């Protein structure tokens, strides 16, 4: 039997909204506030706004120096512009470069970043700047939480996934051999600056993987947004003309507003914020089983996990099969994996998946907690999920041809 846990206010807050309207693009960036009292901060979203980074940081911390943490790939594309923005604002900046990829989110990577920040003589009043995708944001944010017992930091996300999800909300972490993001801390940034122009350099596969997190916001609590994505996803994927640029920025802004609202109500994931993990229990298990490698990107794993979550919800008769099929169809239409057989190299074995699912952060006293759905835009926290039901479901999915 599935025990349904829904935060008292979340049903009203997550009710379907009016479909977003694509209006002519303004030169002014969109600003979304994450309302956390004295620790509130802005998410600034716009095309070509990287040059304003130095002035924005100087306004927040007038005398601070910065340590820019990035990976080698991002450094080649964007470090020069970021360094110039700080130089123009008269802000001294040191650089910490790490290897790219999920493998950097390890104890070794964490140690290297911490030691480099300390070696750069970054003090308690200075800042760490996370320049890159979700890996860099998680790693640099966790280092900022730990070095000198806590440094402030700024997120400068350069991937779609990071701009709509991992840069917002203060979750920082590294991976364990037992699973993804099991070692970390809640540590909020003081600013998120999302320059959508950085997405122009993103490989198509990584952009597509990031789109999984955009679709997630519609599937969780905004049926109208999901319908809009079904009609406009091609414009979101292509920013070569004005309509594409507007659609992309609108999708990012709607996603950030959705996450900011949930984080403001449940910063530490004691209730409603768990909804943001739709697809992540299955997805993290798949990602870990694939060795946290390019074999399966995080967003791809989340897409497969959301397909499994909707399929399992239908199997449990929580929603109509046609509704689950619609959600899965859209993810497949944009090119995301939705079936276990789609995983490059073949799906992991059942026992490996079940062992990893048992290590999920939402497990309580050995009982599984999954984010399931009563429909598109109607996700809920389901506690007390029977392990045998999940095992039987995954066994069926693994047997599909």
How many helices (DSSP H) and strands (DSSP E) are in the chain? 15, 12
Q: How far apart are CA 109 and CA 115, in angstroms?
A: 10
| Distance between CA atoms of residues 17 and 20, nearest Å | 8
* Residue 330 known to be catalytic: no
- The C-alpha angle with vertex 181 and arms to 34 and 346, in degrees rounded to 5, equals 120
> Facing residues of 68 across strands?
95, 129
Catalytic residue among 78, 180, 277, 323: 277
Whether 213 and 199 have beta carbons less than 8 Å apart is answered as no
Q: Active site includes 364?
A: no
Confirm whether 65 is a catalytic residue: no
Catalytic residue among 47, 78, 180, 280: 280
178 carries an active-site annotation = no
CB of 188 closer than 8 Å to CB of 314: no
259 is catalytic: yes
Q: Is residue 272 annotated as part of the catalytic site, yes or no?
A: no
Is beta strand 3-5 parallel, antiparallel or unpaired with respect to 66-71? unpaired
Catalytic pick among 273, 330, 361, 397: 273
Answer yes or no: 298 catalytic. Answer: yes
Catalytic residue at 213? yes
d(CA 367, CA 385): 7
- Angle in degrees, CA 151, 155, 161, rounded to 5: 140
Given a contact cutoff of 8 angstroms between Cβ atoms, the answer to whether 238 and 249 are in contact is no
Q: Does the active-site annotation cover 78?
A: no
Catalytic residue among 105, 187, 284, 361: 284
* Catalytic site residue from 21, 149, 365, 388: 149
Of residues 102, 112, 213, 272, which has the active-site annotation? 213
Active-site annotation holder among 267, 269, 272, 323: 269
Residue 94 parent element (H or E): strand 93-98
Question: Of the residues 47, 78, 105, 171, which is catalytic?
Answer: 171
Which residue is catalytic, options 248, 257, 298, 361? Answer: 298
On whether the CB atoms of residues 312 and 393 are closer than 8 A, the answer is: yes
Residue whose C-alpha is closest to residue 65's, from 77, 83, 49, 81? 83
Active site residues: 149, 171, 213, 259, 269, 273, 277, 280, 284, 298
């Amino acid at each position: 039997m599935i025990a349904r846990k829904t935060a008292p206010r979340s049903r009203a807050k997550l009710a379907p909204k009016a479909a977003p309207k694509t209006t002519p693009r303004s030169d002014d960036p969109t600003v979304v506030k994450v309302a956390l009292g004295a620790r509130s901060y802005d998410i600034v979203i716009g095309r070509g706004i990287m040059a304003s980074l130095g002035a924005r940081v100087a306004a927040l911390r007038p005398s601070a120096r910065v340590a820019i943490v990035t990976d080698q790939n991002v450094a080649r594309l964007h470090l020069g512009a970021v360094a110039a923005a700080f130089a123009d604002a008269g802000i001294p900046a040191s650089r910490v470069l790490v290897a790219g990829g999920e493998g950097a989110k390890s104890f070794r990577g964490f140690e290297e970043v911490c030691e480099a920040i300390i070696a750069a003589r970054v003090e308690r009043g200075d800042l760490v700047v996370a320049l890159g995708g979700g890996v860099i944001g998680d790693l640099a944010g966790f280092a900022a939480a730990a070095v000198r017992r806590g440094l402030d930091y700024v997120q400068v996300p350069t991937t779609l996934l990071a701009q709509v999800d991992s840069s917002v909300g203060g979750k920082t972490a590294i991976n364990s051999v037992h699973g993804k993001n099991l070692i970390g801390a809640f540590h909020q940034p003081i600013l998120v600056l999302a320059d959508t122009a950085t997405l122009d350099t993103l490989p198509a596969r990584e952009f597509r993987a990031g789109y999984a997190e955009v679709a997630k916001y519609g599937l969780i609590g905004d049926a109208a947004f999901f319908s809009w994505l079904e009609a406009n996803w091609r414009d979101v994927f292509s920013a070569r003309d004005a309509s594409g640029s507007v659609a992309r920025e609108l999708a990012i802004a709607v996603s950030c507003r959705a996450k900011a609202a949930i984080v403001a109500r449940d910063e530490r994931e004691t209730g409603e914020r768990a909804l943001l993990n739709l697809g992540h229990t299955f997805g993290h298990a798949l990602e870990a089983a694939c060795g946290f490698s390019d074999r399966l990107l995080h967003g791809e794993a989340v897409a497969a996990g959301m397909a499994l979550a909707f399929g399992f919800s239908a199997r449990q008769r929580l929603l109509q099969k046609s509704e689950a099929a619609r959600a899965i169809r859209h993810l497949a239409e944009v090119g995301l994996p939705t079936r276990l057989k789609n995983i490059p190299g073949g799906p992991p074995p059942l026992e490996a998946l079940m062992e990893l699912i048992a290590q999920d952060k939402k497990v309580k006293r050995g009982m599984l907690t999954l984010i399931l759905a009563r429909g598109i835009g109607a996700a809920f926290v389901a506690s007390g999920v029977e392990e045998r039901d999940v095992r039987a479901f995954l066994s069926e999915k693994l047997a599909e041809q």
